[in-house]
Amino acid sequence: MSLRDWFKRKDGAGGAGEGAPDTPEPTPTDLEHMARALELAREASAAGETPVGAVVYETESGRVLAEAANTRERERDPAGHAEFLAIRDAAAAVGDWRLSHCTLVVTLEPCPMCAGMIVNARVGRVVYGANDPKAGACESLYTITDDPRLNHRPQVIGGVMAEESAELLRGFFRSLRERNRGRKGGG
Ligand SMILES: [Zn+2]
């Protein structure tokens, strides 16, 4: 379902179309792992990273295969995005690059690089938090995860615990701006 539909549903303003049988909803397991991903994002923020966290779990069992947060600054790695690292670690954990039996939970809408990784790893389900109007590639800027020209399309559920995620990001960038301002003022 689109982010717009998700919000419509949450505040009950949508009304019509309620209960469409194939409308995906986050499961309690998704929410549990999203809470963990938010925790990872918070830790990353304390280490000076953009606060994004991700968990990959086996959809059937709920077993966590990998979790990660952004490491781009610390590792000076352009691929140091939480979901990119979590997918790679999950593949290593199962000994197979195919993750069709897995769910990726990530606090921010994946970028084109990570959406490409999701398609290439055949990730079965993607559950994400806040949308990213500047780089999102599931819905906002591109729809890489729902492009019929590509050979894999995961089930995608966006907007899950989005406000918590967005607040973390806003707080992070606010303090970054304040720090930069302080530096200029003092220098
Ligand atoms: Zn990314």
Output the CA 10–ligand 1 centroid distance in Å: 27
Can you give the pLDDT at residue 24? 85
Which among 58, 67, 83, 109 is annotated as catalytic? 83
Please tell me the distance between residue 112's alpha carbon and the centre of ligand 1 in angstroms: 7
- pLDDT at res. 7: 45
Task: Please state, in angstroms and rounded to a whole number, the distance separating the CA atoms of residues 31 and 22.
Answer: 19
Residue identified by tokens 């990001």 is: 169
Q: Identify whether the C-beta of residue 129 lies closer than 8 Å to the C-beta of residue 164.
A: yes
Would you state the pLDDT for residue 143? 98
Q: How far is the CA of 166 from the centre of ligand 1 (A)?
A: 16
What count of other Cβ atoms lies within 10 Å of the Cβ of residue 89?
15
- What is the distance in A from the centroid of ligand 1 to the CA of 79? 7
Q: Which two tokens stand for residue 34?
A: 């999203």
Token pair, residue 76, equals 């000076």
Q: What's the confidence (pLDDT) of residue 124?
A: 98
For residue 58, what are its two tokens? 């086996």
pTM of the predicted model as reported, rounded to 2 decimal places: 0.86
In this prediction, the residues of the chain whose per-residue pLDDT falls under 50 are 1-4, 6-17, 19, 187
Give the pLDDT confidence score for residue 42 in this predicted structure. Answer: 98
pLDDT of residue 101: 98
pLDDT at 182: 84
| Strand residue runs (E) in the chain | 53-58, 64-69, 102-108, 125-130, 155-157
What pLDDT is attached to residue 12? 39
Residues near ion ligand 1 (CB < 5 Å) are: 81, 111, 113-114
